[in-house]
Amino acid sequence: MIRTVRHLADGREIIYYDESPRERTAVDTRDLPPVAASSEIRRDPLTGEWVAMAAHRQTRTYKPPADLCPLDPSNPGKPTEIPESDYDVVVFENRFPSFSQHVTGEPGTVDGMGLVPSAPGRGRADVVCFTSDHNGSFAQLSPKRVRTVVDAWADRTASMSTLEGVEQVFPFENRGEEIGVTLSHPHGQIYAYPFVTPKTRQMLETARAYQAEHGRHVLGDVLAAERKSGVRVIAEGAYWTAFVPPAARWPVEVLLVPHRQVPDIPALTDAERDDFAEVYLQVLRACDALYDRPLPYIAAWNQAPVRVGRELGWLHLDLLSILRAKDKLKYLAGSESGMAVWINDATPEQIADRLRAVL
């Protein structure tokens, strides 16, 4: 992989990840105003969870026509976020970031009353374009291209982990309008949070308690049990296993777990990265065959935080979908949204059977 760093017209960083040598000399000719990020985080006094406020994102690009997609390569008379006329994988700073290194201000409290802590939303938000093909998808990538994406995730995780105030790095992909995607070009994002996320905190606490009682990692024991029974296993390689979690929350949910405990993507070996590409493509193609239509999904990487609990982290990818039938969505209603208690319309075993049947 060849990494080339350039900058856009407003100073944002853009990084090309190429599979063969290419000159990257194109210049962003657009007249862009400086990025005006006003992110703020506030801690909910009732739950202790941080909430991000990014009101400037209200004006972000929303469902542009295909011929004006900002993630396509630039063409004469149609400059985009990517100045080059073609690319393999490219990453750039989001023009409408949820978190940014450029926010100003000091920590304080809302209304100065001391009840609700607040701070600048200092972090970073990157966009990751998986391919220059506007009509493609992650499932249609070659194993070689997936490996390039994994290397880009690893590179950005390592780099963003060094930024001031960053506590956790989260690569993810949102796919499909049903999920809320406003740009149909195959892409994902990477958030660098200025705090450890609630889900990660809970998982670390659970892992710590399990370790103290059993002397082993809880995910390691779950992985071993799933591989032994095979009831919920979807695909397996030399270094990764994909299975429906035994307490799945979503109509379609698959965990991809490496057989070795590693804290994050940069810690994966070359062989583990190659094997992930093969196993993940099997899972994605099964997902798209499930209802004979592109499956809307969220693919969320669970990585260890930058500074705390790294010895308890076990990297894994959680893929989930809200589609419970070809033409039916699972809505997060009273129990899920109000109490965070999920009620699934299918058992994990049924989900696994359906995915294996189309694999």
Tens of pLDDT, residues 171-209: 999 999 999 898 999 999 999 999 999 999 999 999 999
How many residues does the structure list for the chain?
Answer: 359
Q: For residue 345, is pLDDT > 70? A: yes
Question: How much is the average pLDDT of 129-150?
Answer: 98
pLDDT at 182: 87
Which range (80-89, 98-107, 269-278, 285-294) has the least confidence?
Answer: 98-107
- Helix boundaries (H) for 189-336: 198-214, 218-229, 270-290
Answer for the pair 307, 313: CB distance below 8 angstroms, yes or no. no
- pLDDT at site 166: 97
The residue type of 343 is I
Give the whole-angstrom CA distance, residue 283 versus residue 278.
9
Question: Which residue reads 């070795």 in tokens?
Answer: 260
- Measured CA to CA in angstroms, residue 337 lies from 13, 322, 333, 334, 341 at distances of 37, 14, 6, 6, 8
Rounded-to-5 percentages of helix, strand, coil across the chain? 30, 25, 45
- Domains of the chain (ranges; CATH) run 2-195 (3.30.428.10), 199-358 (3.30.428.10)
Lowest mean pLDDT among 5-9, 67-71, 159-163: 67-71
How many Cβ atoms are within 10 Å of 107's Cβ, its own excluded? 9
Q: Print burial letters for 164-190: b (CB count within 10 Å at least 16), e (below 16).
A: ebbbbbbbbbbbbeebebebbbbbbbb
pLDDT at 55: 76
State how far the Cα of 147 lies from the Cα of 264, in Å rounded to an integer: 15
The alpha helices in 98-178, defined as continuous H runs, are: 143-160
Catalytically active residues, by annotation: 187
Structure confidence by residue, pLDDT tens digits, 211-227: 999 999 999 999 999 99
Contacts for 71 with CB less than 8 Å, ≥ 6 apart: 80, 81, 82, 127, 129, 134, 183, 185, 187
- Rounded to an integer, the average pLDDT of 234-261 is 98
Give tens-digit pLDDT for 12-62: 999 999 999 999 999 999 999 988 788 999 999 999 999 999 876 766 666
pLDDT confidence of residue 84: 98
